[in-house]
């Protein structure tokens, strides 16, 4: 894949707890960050975004920088994650879509057959230059806090393109993948190229790690995932150049297959205890290094009484000790009605517990 000119010099943050954990190394504390830590739970975010659409915000380098920094300043998390959206590279490539408040991504002309797949554009790195510019601004602000870039995995992007928007059952997606596998693989190959170009642009700009979100992969059986999805996610992650995290929702039965895609870290949602997740991941590569996991507090528990929350945080840290490394996170994203002060208290608690 072509990388943009003027790539940033790689920061040396090897001692950062998050990067040590991703490499299966010990640290003086369990690192912690939260999916959707930059977003609607923060009043400063809501004020900043009051007059901006999601897509315009994602292409405004100064706004991306400020939104990404907000939870780092407020919570003291061990990583920032780039403020963006999984459909940003599709929009940048020229696909007609929008992020509709209350709905999510909506595609004007859904992909339904081989001609639609052939018509899909490629992504040029220059088309996401504002994202790279935002990363440059962030590197000047973050000090020794790692920056995580991210992208949507090919299957999840395909589901949006085929269904035309969010879907509960993914019926058109599953129909295409089984009835016309040649077209399906052509579509996912195209999307893998777009995703990899987007991630390469972020890596070239200086992110310290990346996370690949396969939000809807939990709708698949393990057999279908391994045959029809895994090769394309593996193509995205291969040789990416920085530590990689792979995460999906409802993917407890797919954890081993997701590890087979080649990430350094596998994110685990709240449905599977971390020690059990480690067992499943280790079974995929019995002769490999001990698995590294990320997760997996139920986001709803951030609204529970503090004694309950503290008990669950300590339980998860204990279960995470079964892994080669553990990055504390939620099992999905921060809910919009979460009290930001509770998030800060969780960070303090995680940092206080002996790893």
3 state SS for 231-282: HHHHHHHCCCCCCEEEEECCCHHHHHHHHHCCCCEEECCCCCCHHHHHHHHH
* 118: annotated active-site residue: no
Judge whether 341 counts as a catalytic residue.
Answer: no
Q: What is the CA radius of gyration of the chain?
A: 19
The whole-chain average pLDDT of the chain stands at: 95
Please report which confidence band the pLDDT of residue 5 belongs to, taking 50, 70 and 90 as the band edges: very low
In a domain, 1, yes or no: no
Cα–Cα nearest to 246, from 124, 160, 142, 148: 148
For residue 272, give the nearest of 296, 301, 248 by alpha carbon: 296
Catalytic residue among 49, 196, 259, 280: 49
Domain that holds residue 233: 17-352
Q: Is 40 a catalytic residue?
A: yes
Distance CA 320, CA 213 (A): 21
Residue 210 to residues 113, 146, 213, 237, 264: CA-CA distances in angstroms? 31, 10, 10, 9, 10
* Candidate list 45, 160, 224, 280, residue with the active-site label: 160
5 domain-assigned: no
Residue 60 domain-assigned? yes
Flag whether 165 is in a domain.
Answer: yes
pLDDT band at 3 (very low <50, low <70, confident <90, very high): very low
Q: How many CA atoms lie within 13 A of 328 on its CB side?
A: 27
Q: Is residue 9 part of a domain?
A: no
- List the catalytic residue out of 11, 40, 74, 129: 40
pLDDT digits (tens, 9 = 90+) for 301-313: 999 999 999 999 9
Task: Write the pLDDT tens digit of every residue in 88-137.
Answer: 999 999 999 999 988 889 999 999 999 999 999 999 999 999 999 999 99
Q: Quick check: is 36 catalytic? A: yes
Enumerate residues 6+ apart whose C-beta is below 8 A from 11. Answer: 139, 206, 208
Q: Is 85 a catalytic residue?
A: yes
Of the residues 11, 20, 29, 36, which is catalytic? 36
3 is a domain residue: no
Q: Residue 80's closest CA among 4, 14, 10, 19?
A: 19
Its pTM stands at: 0.96
- Whether 2 is in a domain gets the answer no
Q: Which of 45, 78, 85, 200 is catalytic?
A: 85
Q: What is the mean pLDDT of residues 285-314?
A: 97
Note whether residue 12 is domain-resident. Answer: no
DSSP for 281-340, please give it. HHHHSTTSPPPEEEEEE-GGGGGS-HHHHHHHHHHHHHHHTTSSEEEEEESSPPPTT--H
Statement: residue 7 has pLDDT above 60 = no
Give me the number of domains the chain comprises. 1
Residue 8, pLDDT score:
60
What CATH number is attached to the domain comprising 252?
A: 3.20.20.210
Per-residue pLDDT tens over the stretch 237-256: 999 999 999 999 999 999 99
């Amino acid at each position: 894949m072509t990388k943009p000119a003027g790539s940033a010099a790689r920061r040396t943050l090897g001692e950062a707890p998050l990067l040590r954990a991703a490499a299966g190394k010990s640290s003086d504390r369990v690192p912690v960050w939260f999916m959707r830590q930059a977003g609607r739970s923060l009043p400063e975010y809501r004020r900043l975004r009051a007059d901006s659409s999601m897509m315009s915000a994602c292409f405004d380098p100064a706004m991306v920088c400020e939104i990404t920094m907000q939870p780092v300043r407020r919570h003291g998390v061990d990583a920032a994650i780039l403020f963006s959206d999984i459909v940003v590279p599709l929009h940048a490539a020229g696909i007609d879509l929008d992020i509709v408040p209350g709905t999510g991504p909506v595609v004007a002309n859904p992909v339904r057959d081989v001609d639609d797949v052939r018509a899909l554009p490629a992504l040029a790195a220059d088309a996401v230059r504002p994202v790279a510019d935002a990363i440059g601004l962030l590197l000047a602000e973050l000090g020794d806090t790692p920056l995580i870039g991210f992208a949507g995995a090919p299957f999840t992007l395909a589901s949006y393109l085929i269904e035309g928007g969010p879907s509960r059952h993914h019926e058109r997606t599953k129909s295409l993948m089984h009835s016309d596998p040649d077209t399906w693989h052509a579509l996912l190959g195209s999307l893998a190229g777009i995703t990899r170009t987007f991630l390469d642009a972020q890596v070239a700009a200086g992110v310290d790690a990346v996370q690949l979100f396969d939000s809807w992969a939990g709708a698949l059986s393990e057999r279908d995932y391994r045959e029809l999805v895994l090769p394309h996610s593996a193509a995205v992650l291969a040789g990416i150049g920085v530590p990689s995290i792979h995460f999906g929702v409802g993917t407890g039965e797919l954890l081993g297959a997701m590890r087979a895609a080649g990430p350094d870290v596998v994110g685990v949602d709240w449905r599977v205890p971390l020690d059990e997740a480690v067992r499943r991941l280790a079974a995929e590569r019995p002769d490999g290094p001990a698995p590294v996991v990320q997760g997996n507090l139920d986001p709803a528990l951030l609204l529970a009484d503090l004694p309950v929350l503290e008990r669950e945080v300590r339980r998860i840290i204990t279960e995470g000790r079964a892994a080669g490394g553990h990055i504390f996170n939620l099992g999905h994203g921060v809910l919009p009605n979460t009290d930001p002060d509770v998030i800060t208290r969780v960070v303090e608690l995680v940092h206080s517990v002996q790893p």
